[in-house]
Structure 1
């Protein structure tokens, strides 16, 4: 399997728990606070965790906000 095929396969196999970009952006600040507090956020909110694994732009926003919060 070449890289292009692998990317297409990954895109087509979106986790059904994925909350999508709109919902992720609505809840990102809360999720970041929970992750920063080490409150088990990925286990408590698997749809958010699934989305951040699959969506590069949202994951970048998450990482940036987490860096700002944790300094």
Structure 2
């Protein structure tokens, strides 16, 4: 198994926790700028875009993308 890859047990848990209202990485990426702007402006991004919040909680790559985007926003301040 590659480093950083979930174990088979973790993958089964993730599959079992899947719900119909989930989005994939592409959909999350499309909303990432909007989500980051909401976070940056102090609004409740999680309440306004709950599917994005849920996705970034379970997806390391998208979470890192959001963190990088927020850093870029703050670098422009």
> What TM-score does the superposition give when structure 1 sets the normalisation length?
0.80
2:58 equivalent to 1:37: no
Structure-2 residue corresponding to 1:21: 25
Residue-pair matches, total: 68
Moved over 4 A (4+): none
Pair member with larger Rg: 2
Q: What's the CA shift for 1:42? A: 0.3
Extract unaligned runs of 5+ from structure 1. Answer: none
2:42 equivalent to 1:53: no
Superposed CA RMSD in Å reads 1.7
Structure-1 residue corresponding to 2:13: 10
Tell me the alpha carbon deviations over residues 7-66 of structure 1, each in whole angstroms, 9 at most, x when there is no partner.
124321134432211111111111101111111110111101001001111111001101
**Greater per-residue helix proportion:** 1
> What TM-score does the superposition give when structure 2 sets the normalisation length?
0.75
